[in-house]
Amino acid sequence: MPGPDENTDFGFRQVPLEDKQALVDGVFHSVAPRYDLMNDLMSGGLHRAWKDVMVHTVNPPKGERPFALLDLAGGTGDVAFRVAAEGGPGTHVTVADINTEMLEVGRARAEERGLDDVVTFIAGNAEALPFPDRSFDAVTIAFGIRNVPRIGQALAQAFRVLKLGGRFLCLEFSTVDVPGFDRLYDLYSFNVIPALGRVVAGDVESYRYLVESIRRFPQPEAFAEMMRTAGFRRVAFQRMAGGIVALHSGWRL
């Protein structure tokens, strides 16, 4: 059977691994302008609280001490702006995203907020990051790693660009672990979310994929083992909202 990085599933369809990136790009080109609005509607606004938990866990310094954070697949700037607000004047965030439409949204928002000198947006593939070794104090990714074709390769890259003592945090949808709630969650996911995609974004298939990709993502224990294989230590995860999401953590020690 194929391993996590050899999975040829795109949602519930069978697709060659080499074609998955192009298909993922097409999804996010389509939904970029209304991506954060759809996140609000799909999660009832809870994605904001989950991201706040991740940012508080990052805990950027409040003073002048330099602190460099890399946010992967965060093109709209949602996490980056939160970290910038939480940190002091020494905090700088680099956003790396493979999708140019998402980056354009983020750059425009940074300009509106006067954060051009605090948040930098760079086109980059999580599987081959364009940064030197040991460049960042922390690396984050929120609801993005499940869309990376070669997850293990992205984890190895995140480990590579972290400084010694740096932390990797990954917020991702997970597996509901409350009996009964799992069936309600499936009903909502496969019926309501695609319908919202049709009404708000004019796109059913992209949002059907987003739901299906969640179901294909490794269980928390399996993902933790992938992190250990990439080199991370003190690997842990925290389930939230009945298992809808999990916050994964690992250190470069």
Residue, of 11 and 224, whose pLDDT is higher = 224
- Look at residue 58 and tell me whether its pLDDT is greater than 80: yes
* pLDDT value at 1 more than 60: no
Residue 188 exposure: Cα atoms within 13 Å on the Cβ side: 12
Determine the average pLDDT of the residues in 81-101: 96
pLDDT the model gives residue 22: 55
Rg (CA), the chain: 17
- Summarize pLDDT for 146-205 with one digit per residue, the tens: 889 899 999 999 999 999 999 999 999 888 877 777 778 777 777 887 787 787 767 777
Q: Which CATH class is domain 4-251?
A: alpha beta
Summarised one tens digit per residue, pLDDT across range 188-236 is 777 887 787 787 767 777 777 777 777 888 999 999 999 999 999 999 9
pLDDT at 3: 43
Domain boundaries defined on the chain: 4-251
Print the SS3 string covering the chain. CCCHHHCCEECCEECCHHHHHHHHHHHHHHHHHHHHHHHHHHHCCHHHHHHHHHHHHHCCCCCCCCEEEEEECCCCCHHHHHHHHHCCCCEEEEEEECCHHHHHHHHHHHHHHCCCCCEEEEECECCECCCCCCCEEEEEEECCHHHCCCHHHHHHHHHHHEEEEEEEEEEEECCCCCCCHHHHHHHHHHHHHHHHHHHHHCCHHHHHHHHHHHHHCCCHHHHHHHHHHHCCEEEEEEEEHHHCEEEEEEECC
